[in-house]
Structures are given as C-alpha cells and as structure tokens.
Amino acid sequence: MSTSTRRVPLRKDGRKQFLEKVSSNLGLNIESFFGSKPQVEVTETSKGKIYVVNGRPIFAEFENDLFPTLSFEQYVSRLPKVVVDMGAVLYICNGADVMGPGIVGIQGEFAPKSVVTVVDVKNKKPIAIAKSVFDSKTALIIKKGKLFENMHFVGDEIWTVSKEIEGKQKS
C-alpha cells in the first residue's frame, strides 16, 4: 500500500518560489541539474512533502527544513560527510540522531544547521541526511552527545515513497 497521496504539479509561480527556496536554502543552482524549466510536482506524506523534479524524488521538506533526498545522489555526494561506525548504522536507520561516540570521521567543512550526508565506515554508502548542531571544527572535538539531527534515513517514509515513485518511473 502506498504511503503517499497523489502528486500535484506546481504551477509556474509555485515552481518559481520552490526553485528560489532551493537556491537560497541549499545554495544549489537547480538549472545546472535539471534545465531551465524543470517540471516540479509535490507529494504529501505524513512526515512532510516530497518534491519530484522531472520525475525524480529529489527534495523533501519537513518542519520547514528543505533537504535533498537520498535519491539525489549527484548532490548528496557533494555534501560534507559524517562517517559513522557500523554499530551506529542500525540506530541511525531507525531514526536516531547521530551521537558523538558513533562518529569515526568528518569530511568537509560546515556551519551549524548545515545539511550533511551520513555514511557508514565500511561501505561509504549514504545512510542518512542530517542537520549539524555545531560547525565542523567543534564537531571534530566533541566526543559525546547529539552532534547531528537525523532528518531522513534509509527505510523512513521519505525513502519508501521515493522508491515507489522511482519504481513507477521505470514501469
């Protein structure tokens, strides 16, 4: 059973506002990825909204936070990375925030409230999108407590609906 409701296309003014929000919040020129007039649809879920750009579930919005989905590999691969040990993976993939003891490394620089990718130490695969509590220099020093707020992870509702959308695109 689908966890999403229907996909609704954004009209010209709504699309323009969305693209401006992506640009200002994520510093991303969406035209470089999707052209000058991408088709943008929105799907509502119980957690928030998923934005489907040219048929791909690329962004999500939850509690006024706009972030890339794990499906947007081209962008996710460019984000700063938080590398976690394999013991932390199960917890993070069940929605837990990223805690200091599970972190084995940080790659890249970021400010507080920045979007980062969480990857596992063994496979280096993205398992979550998180928001930093501290800047990168501070996060390297702190060894306990919550350092990153988990926003989206493998297996959550955004992930499930994204996979449904991608599956429909292939058929």
* Model confidence pTM above 0.75: yes
Pairing assessment for the beta strands 81-84 and 115-120 based on DSSP bridges:
parallel
**What's the pLDDT tens digit per position in 110-131?**
999 999 999 999 999 999 999 9
Sheet strands (E) in 27-114: 40-44, 49-53, 56-62, 65-68, 81-84, 98-99, 103-107
Write the CA distances from 119 to 45, 79, 85, integer angstroms: 25, 11, 9
**pLDDT higher at 135 or 19:** 135
**pLDDT recorded at residue 26:** 85
**pLDDT higher at 164 or 5:** 164
For the beta carbon of residue 151, count every other beta carbon within 10 angstroms. 24
Which domains occur in the chain, in start order? 7-70+156-170 (3.10.450.120), 75-153 (2.30.130.10)
Q: Which of 32-41, 64-73, 127-136 has the lowest mean pLDDT?
A: 32-41
**What's the pLDDT tens digit per position in 62-78?**
988 999 999 999 999 99
